[in-house]
Chain A
Amino acid sequence: MNAIIEFENIGLRYGADEEVLSDISFSLSAGGFYFLTGASGAGKTSLLRLLYLSQRPTRGVLKLFGEDVVMMHRNRLPGFRRRIGVVFQDFRLVPHLSAHDNVALPLRLAGMDEQEIGGPVEEMLAWVGLGERADALPESLSGGEQQRVAIARAVIGRPDILVADEPTGNVDPEMAKRLLGLFEALNRLGTTIVIATHDLPLISMIGHAQMMRLDKGRLIDPTGSLRFPPRNEPAALLGRALGKPL
């Protein structure tokens, strides 16, 4: 297995509070499709924060692309972040930039030539159904539209890892399906996808996906082996695994 993300006994606490993540150990293969589930407050967002390098764990070993990022000098982190696309739960669009400039931001930060940016950005905005709203500022976009801009921004640079926190929470089922298609297409091109979601129908749409479940800051399966290809599981079992009935 070619591991792209490795957690070994990871613990995370904020200040002097109790650990929000405890003894997390797992390994994700390059090119895999993973769902992260769990009740609110289970630690999903904290785990994702570790994944997209917004936070360092307070203990344990966290390896991305085969390198330990816990002790890594912060000057090296931008290079890693550029290989990770992130869809934040609260979108985090830059408020004074248009949809076009928000989507173009990762490419510009990566130093891509300006002439090579326009075409892919327009194409991506068209793909998420916002071709006509390229010049709109985030404040004039609906929640769903903002979410689509955030997704377009996360995938525009063809990242090696895509981390998404509830990426379909604000869109209608049709658009959710379309966005999931985008994630699948990206996955087929080799991107490792990690999606935190409560959306059970969404999970069941990806047959080859694997699932991790967090409960009170711990992975439910202490062995860290990832199972439950959702489509193959009876709905009741899947519901039980997620902690709620389907």
Chain B
Amino acid sequence: MREAGRWSDRAARAARSRWLPEGRRGPMPWIIAIMMFLTILAAAAVLSLSHALRQMHGELRGGYTVQIVEANPALRADQTRRVAAMLRAEKGIGGVAVVPEAQLRAQLEPWIGTDSPPEELPIPAMIDMEAAPGTPPARIDALARRIAAIAPSARIDAHERYLGPVERLMRALMWLAAGLVALMVGVTAAVVMLAARSAHATHRATIDIMHLLGATDIQIARLFQRRMGMDAIFGGTIGLATAGAMLWLLGTRMSAIDAELAGLVRLPLPLMLLLPLIPLGGALLAMLTARITVRRALERTL
């Protein structure tokens, strides 16, 4: 009995699907594929940049470097030791670590080379530290004064300050990508609307007959809705596959870059799993747009 019902449902669906002529679908699925490809890339940029910004904030917030610029190596070492000791004893300050000189020289090696002996080209000593979240700037200023009492030439740099321009650039890029996503959604809806209008005009004679035989607006709109949905699912799948391949390629290129910032801009798996929702949303948008467009067109008739 249930099997017969299923057969009947299938047969009814098959019969309804023939109410509009099948055949060449035209460029619509491919246009949607391109739209989805671009939307997914832009959305991936939004997700990865927002992830990078969150990471950056987490890692940089409260981070400071104390720079002790002193040409005399012995004095520099003494000041460094005393400042580090003072900071370690300070409540609310953690992660105090003196950056080994060898590490600093290794980082500067591309610029200063390896020929100069340390005594000829002194480099500042550096102490990394982290202030507890919510530490007021006045406390850091007070700390700076106490450091200056030990090492008059010392300077405190907030990590957030020197990465500020990078952060602003990343934020601007993120909003740009978000704008592109919104634009693509709007353009996709507009393209579907035009396609639905055109399809409605093309099949006007059939629609008129169906109307006169008692078809409701919803019955007719469903035909277009279904067709647009199929086109959007096809186009969305193609768009997702090509965008996925492109993102994978970009990911491999990014991971080859040996830079801390480049490492931040990546798309973790949970965020990546959001991307297939875009073609799904695109299909729903296409169906809804087609439904509304056709119903509005039908409302202008009797």
Chain A residues packing against B (C-beta within 8 Å): 52-56, 74-75, 77-79, 81-82, 86, 92-97, 101, 104-106, 108-110, 113-115, 153
Closest 6 CB pairs of A and B: A82-B214, A96-B21, A81-B214, A114-B11, A114-B12, A114-B8
Q: What residues of B have a CB within 8 angstroms of the CB of A93 in the complex? A: 209
Main secondary structure of the interface of B (DSSP, over half): helix
Known: A94-B19, A109-B219. A74 touches B302 (CB 8 A): yes
Alpha-carbon separation in the docked complex, A77 to B210 (Å)? 13
Query: Contact flags (1/0) for B202-221 with A, using CB distance below 8 Å?
Result: 00011011111111110100
Kindly report which residue of chain B lies nearest to residue A159, judged by CB atoms: B214
Q: Contact at B210–A109, with CB atoms within 8 Å? A: yes
Known: A56-B302, A96-B21. A81 touches B212 (CB 8 A): yes
Alpha-carbon separation in the docked complex, A188 to B211 (Å)? 28
Q: Given B8, B19, B299, which contacts A74 in the complex, CB threshold below 8 Å?
A: B299
Q: Contact at A77–B302, with CB atoms within 8 Å? A: yes
Whole-angstrom distance from the CB of A14 to the nearest CB of chain B?
A: 13
Known: A54-B302, A94-B206. A108 touches B16 (CB 8 A): yes
Kindly report which residue of chain A lies nearest to residue B13, judged by CB atoms: A114
Alpha-carbon separation in the docked complex, A78 to B212 (Å)? 8
Q: Given B209, B214, B216, B217, which contacts A94 in the complex, CB threshold below 8 Å?
A: B209
B139 within 8 A of A: no
Known: A108-B12, A114-B12. A97 touches B18 (CB 8 A): yes
Q: Given A75, A101, A109, which contacts B214 in the complex, CB threshold below 8 Å?
A: A109
Q: What residues of B have a CB within 8 angstroms of the CB of A78 in the complex? A: 211, 214-216
Q: What residues of A have a CB within 8 angstroms of the CB of B299 in the complex? A: 74
B74 within 8 A of A: no
B257 within 8 A of A: no
Alpha-carbon separation in the docked complex, A92 to B208 (Å)? 9
Query: Contact flags (1/0) for B14-33 with A, using CB distance below 8 Å?
Result: 01101101100000000000
Ordered by A's residue number, 25 sampled pairs between the chains whose C-beta atoms are within 8 Å are A53-B212, A54-B212, A56-B302, A78-B214, A81-B211, A81-B212, A81-B213, A81-B214, A86-B212, A92-B205, A92-B209, A94-B19, A94-B210, A96-B18, A96-B21, A97-B18, A104-B15, A105-B19, A106-B213, A106-B214, A109-B210, A109-B213, A113-B8, A114-B7, A114-B12
